[in-house]
Amino acid sequence: MRRTKELERAALGRLKERLEKKDSLRTEYAKKPLELLAKHGFRFPGPMGEMFMDIYEGRVDRAIGLAGRGGGKSCEAGALAFALWALDDWNVGIVSGSREQALRVIEYVQDITGDEAVAEIVAEETKTLVKGKRGNWIKAAPASTKAIRGLHAKGRKMLLILDEEAEMDPMIVRSALSVVSDAKRAVVLRLSTMHKIDGTFADLVDRHEKMGYKLYKWDSFDVATRCTTKDCKDCLLAFAKGNDPADLAKLAKDFHDRYCKERAKDKKRPTGWIGVENIRQNFMEMPTSWFETEVMALKPSGEGKVLDYDKVKAAFEAAPAKYVPGAPIWGWVDWGFKGQMTGGIYQAVGNDVLLVAAQEWSEVDIEVLIAWFQGNEEDLGQKLVQICPDSSHPFENNRLRETGFEVDEVVFGAFKETGAGFLKWLFDRGHFKPCGEFPLAKAQLLAWSRDAQGKIKKGFDHYCDGMLAGTKHLQGTIMGTMRARKWNPRAGRRFFDLARGRRAEVMSDER
């Protein structure tokens, strides 16, 4: 009898030990989650820390995180997802405009679950799922209504994360918001850079108080490294080569007065991860509108011309560029409406994009367009790398594929502002070079404008839409070169040669 009781006590002791070990994270860190996350390299300076604790401690259930590129939005989302899941048994759903973006958040979670102390509470882990031994989960869902339907809380507390919402289809956003309806406590965190003038995220930011959300906003200076420049007047001297010192002085004052305001020198501010030198570099390289959106987390500019009138005019009135045999070429198409369509061919030559050919048709069969592309390939002596057509005509796009062309469809709802930005960058820097006169394309680009809400106006814009569609081929080339200085594998060369000190190019009138 005594032996039986001893065995029972030993078994209860082992069970108690296992339970204590299982709950050791919760026991030690439930009231200090940032301390646990700091051990894994997570930092949340300024508004980021405020947003984290407001949600974690139950003060805020509807939150907006507005920040620039590289501002740590996805990182914070992953950390918050882990903390609520590990320390309070929450379910967490992650939805984004693409599968890759959604997986980025869960990857931050899985950076932590690999720790031996944390692995004790993990029952299952895949690329899109982390499941705890208590049955709670973190799931990353592709941007589809079918995948999102599987995220329901089913009575648990639930955190829903919409990451880079500005890139998401409104239908996906609406579907995602409905999944928390059965949650014990529902928290919705909507994150993005404000790179579109309209859409669900822009509307949310404008009306967040009326919609019951708290807005947390931070820019690159809030998460920057410490500035070591002794005198702010010397801030941009690293770019002095090839530039007028007087112009640099004006730019440095503009950079200081409008954006920096010496915040990066504030010793009371926690040190972040974005190098101040990279912020300066982006200020010098990017059009103002890009810099303010991508770096300063500001809303895109509104009413006015899409492109600089004088720079478009100068590009089309300069001596025609010459086609370069062997340099990569690709096509673009805008299907238009009522049988109208435009097609064209671009070429990448060094730093420049050449408009090699362009034409408009009305009420013709697609075979006419195919014959036009094939005829140009024969005349130019090489094949198109790909064609970037408007996605609105799937039958016609499939016909292009059947003919043998590589097709990369362009969804205007998601890409139009990005494509317009590419064109603006090219014209502002003098890198757009027509190989002929193209009077109708010129007229449409000069007339291209925005309404009072900043949305690009429709009408008389077939060339504009086709030409911006063609810039999709440049994704990962312009932006990749500007940010990571990588080579473009398709073009086989750096698209913009920033290594030779060509800084005079960036002194645009836009400054």
Residue range 466-481, pLDDT digits in tens: 999 999 998 755 443 4
Report pLDDT for 239: 64
Q: Which residues contact 144 (CB under 8 A, 6 or more apart)?
A: 172
Strands 122-125, 129-132: pairing kind:
antiparallel
Q: Which residues contact 72 (CB under 8 A, 6 or more apart)?
A: 44, 48, 223, 272, 273
Report pLDDT for 255: 87
Report pLDDT for 279: 92
CB-CB contact of 251 with 76 (8 Å): no
CB-CB contact of 67 with 193 (8 Å): yes
Strands 304-305, 449-450: pairing kind:
antiparallel
pTM: 0.60
CB-CB contact of 255 with 248 (8 Å): no
**Using CB atoms within 10 A of its CB, is residue 316 exposed (0-12), middle (13-18) or buried (19+)?**
buried
Question: Alpha-carbon distance 502 to 239, whole Å?
Answer: 9
Which regions of the chain are under pLDDT 50? 15-16, 19-20, 478-511
Report pLDDT for 21: 52
Domains of the chain, first to last: 31-218 (3.40.50.300), 225-294 (no CATH), 304-475 (3.30.420.280)
Report pLDDT for 193: 92
Report pLDDT for 6: 63
**Using CB atoms within 10 A of its CB, is residue 228 exposed (0-12), middle (13-18) or buried (19+)?**
exposed
Question: Alpha-carbon distance 503 to 88, whole Å?
Answer: 53
Q: Which two tokens stand for residue 93?
A: 């759903």
Q: List, for residues 270-329, the tens digit of each pLDDT value.
A: 888 999 989 988 888 787 778 888 899 988 755 578 998 889 999 999 999 999 999 999
Q: Which two tokens stand for residue 486?
A: 């990588």
420: nearest Cα among 484, 472, 370, 385: 472
- What separation, in Å, do the N-terminal and C-terminal C-alpha atoms of the chain show? 90
473: nearest Cα among 486, 491, 461: 491
Q: How far is CA 470 from CA 178, 186, 318, 388, 500, in A?
A: 37, 42, 22, 5, 27
Phi-psi region of 215 (alpha: psi -120 to 50; beta: other; left: phi over 0): beta
CB-CB contact of 465 with 334 (8 Å): yes
Rounded to the nearest 10 degrees, the angle between the axes of helix 412-428 and helix 462-470 is 90
CB-CB contact of 208 with 266 (8 Å): no
Report pLDDT for 87: 94
DSSP track, 226-246: PP--SSGGGTTGGG-TTS-HH
Residue keyed to tokens 């500001």: 298
Which residues on adjacent β-strands are paired with residue 463?
Answer: none
